[in-house]
Structure 1
């Protein structure tokens, strides 16, 4: 499964980036996240976080790529499925910022998971993008 959403935000890229990488604050931005616990300090290459979402088991996410002020990617593994989440902030064409969030699920059980949880997953990523926009534009 692949899902991607792009949102234009009327806020400076630095503002948006600082909100995006502050994963412990995500529950303030969206009802799709109950709690985030950093396990290895701030978001950076190799850092891990435990993410609690409504109706889903807690998952450990490990940052696999990180470029300050631009993007980070993290992965969560469970039996038969690897989930990869991408978070990218770019200067917007007309000022402000453009954010692209992606979610990919691969592995032998990914098609089954997409059938069972695909609509919830897409809804949660959309909620996260919308929440980031709302908080960034009100900062």
Structure 2
């Protein structure tokens, strides 16, 4: 992630919005659609015939936490987007997961 700007004030909640800029992609506004503290954070964006939902799932395992990142695509252009940019999207998710892991290790 290159940049994240909250577009509203206050505590993060369902309906909160942020502009996200990721490497190799144009910026997009994402809206929080689900928030269960310490369990599930999901948000959605739409562009060019594709709706994308990003999910960040946390689960307690063996004295630690497992994080699962999911990117779901739907809409008329979803198949084409996945075919053309699936590898880039998977690489982006791996970088994001590695960044989360570094931050978690630094905290605890």
Q: What TM-score does the superposition give when structure 1 sets the normalisation length?
A: 0.72
Task: For residue 53 of structure 1, report the CA deviation from its aligned partner.
Answer: 1.1
Cα distance per residue 1:67-94 (max 9 Å; x no partner)? 12211110000121000000111211x1
Across the aligned residues of Structure 1 and Structure 2, the Cα RMSD in angstroms comes to: 1.1
Q: Identify the residue that residue 50 of structure 2 maps to in structure 1.
A: 81
Cα distance per residue 1:38-85 (max 9 Å; x no partner)? 011343100000001121111100001111221111000012100000
Q: Identify the residue that residue 59 of structure 1 maps to in structure 2.
A: 28
1:12-91, aligned counterparts within 5 Å?
33-41=1-9, 42-91=11-60
Corresponding residue SS for 2:12: coil
1:98 correspondence with 2:42: no
Count of paired positions: 106
- Relative to its length, the structure with more helix (as a share) is 1
Task: For residue 114 of structure 1, report the CA deviation from its aligned partner.
Answer: 1.0
Q: Identify the residue that residue 135 of structure 1 maps to in structure 2.
A: 103
Q: What TM-score does the superposition give when structure 2 sets the normalisation length?
A: 0.92
1:108-123, aligned counterparts within 5 Å?
108-123=76-91
- Relative to its length, the structure with more strand (as a share) is 2
Structure 1: segments with no counterpart, 5+ residues:
1-32
Runs of at least 4 residues off by over 4 Å: none
Instruction: Give the whole-Å Cα distance in 1 for the aligned partners of 2:25 and 2:12.
Output: 22
